[in-house]
């Protein structure tokens, strides 16, 4: 059996180093350095953080399979939720996504090349540009939603329906408190991709 790990003098494989500490371990280390930290609060926050990160990784993998980025998915979503005929001006898209007009133009240019959207002059106002979702773009968005639904059901499989209601309510209250106390929390000012 071969291994890429360096072997210590004993001839045994070197122990694998964990990518990250377990939650309890991490909280204990925090308490060692900052004794007044509330371990229950820190456990909840660290768990939420890890769940969020792992969900992001899972969604990114799904989008990679579909050949789109999360930044492109955001545009597709904005067009879909605008309703049929799935058209918005670039300025409105930028506003909805919290992007600068330049960042929005760059994103749209990439999506045009991939056939996810079209960009045309508004027939009723030739100065105005319209971004419209293509059938390919809508199909990719729908498939991403199907894939996400399967993943999300698996994620919550151990949470009974009555607990899901309670969990949903608690998380909504947490989110509302963050958004009310930190007005900049819901938006972003640059293009992440």
Read off the CATH number of the domain in which 128 is found: 1.10.10.10
What are the pLDDT digits (tens) for 116-132?
999 998 788 777 899 99
pLDDT at site 192: 46
pTM: 0.75
Query: Is the per-residue pLDDT at 150 higher than 70?
Result: yes
Mean per-residue pLDDT for 135-162? Answer: 96
Q: Which domain holds residue 130?
A: 70-139
What are the pLDDT digits (tens) for 166-184?
999 999 999 999 888 887 7
pLDDT at site 135: 97
Residues 82 and 111 both lie in one domain: yes
pLDDT at site 12: 54
Last residue of a domain, one of 139, 158, 178: 139
Residues 76 and 132 both lie in one domain: yes
Residues 78 and 132 both lie in one domain: yes
What are the pLDDT digits (tens) for 56-104?
999 999 999 999 999 999 999 999 999 999 999 999 999 999 999 999 9
**Mean pLDDT rounded to a whole number for the chain:** 87
Query: Is 93:191 a contact under the CB 8 Å cutoff?
Result: no
Residues 115 and 92 both lie in one domain: yes
Tell me whether residue 37 is in a domain: yes
Alpha-carbon distance 60 to 154, whole Å?
Answer: 17
What are the pLDDT digits (tens) for 26-52?
999 999 999 999 999 999 999 999 999
Query: What one-character-per-residue DSSP string does 100-111 give?
Result: -HHHHHHHHHHH
Tell me whether residue 27 is in a domain: yes
Residue 32, CA atoms < 13 Å, CB-side half-sphere:
6
Query: Is 137:111 a contact under the CB 8 Å cutoff?
Result: yes
98-106: long-range pairs with CB below 8 Å, 24+: 98/187, 98/188, 98/189, 99/188, 99/189, 99/190, 99/191, 100/189, 100/190, 100/191, 103/190, 103/191, 104/191, 106/191
Tell me whether residue 76 is in a domain: yes
Tell me whether residue 174 is in a domain: no
pLDDT at site 42: 95
């Amino acid at each position: 059996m071969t291994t890429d790990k360096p072997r210590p003098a004993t001839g045994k494989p070197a122990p694998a180093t964990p990518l990250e500490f377990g939650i309890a371990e991490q909280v204990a280390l925090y308490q060692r350095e900052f004794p007044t930290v509330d371990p229950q609060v820190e456990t909840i926050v660290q768990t939420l953080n890890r769940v969020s990160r792992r969900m992001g990784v899972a969604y990114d993998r799904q989008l990679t399979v579909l050949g789109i980025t999360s930044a492109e998915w955001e545009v597709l979503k904005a067009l879909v939720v605008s309703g049929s005929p799935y058209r918005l001006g670039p300025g409105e898209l930028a506003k909805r996504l919290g992007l600068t007009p330049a960042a929005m133009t760059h994103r749209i240019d990439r999506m045009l090349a991939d056939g996810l959207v079209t960009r045309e002059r508004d027939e009723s106002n030739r100065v105005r540009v319209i971004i419209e979702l293509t059938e390919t773009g809508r199909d990719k968005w729908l498939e991403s939603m199907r894939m996400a639904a399967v993943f999300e059901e698996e994620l919550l499989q151990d949470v009974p329906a009555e607990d899901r209601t309670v969990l949903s309510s608690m998380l909504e209250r947490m989110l509302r408190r963050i958004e009310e106390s930190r007005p900049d929390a819901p938006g972003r000012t640059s293009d992440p991709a």
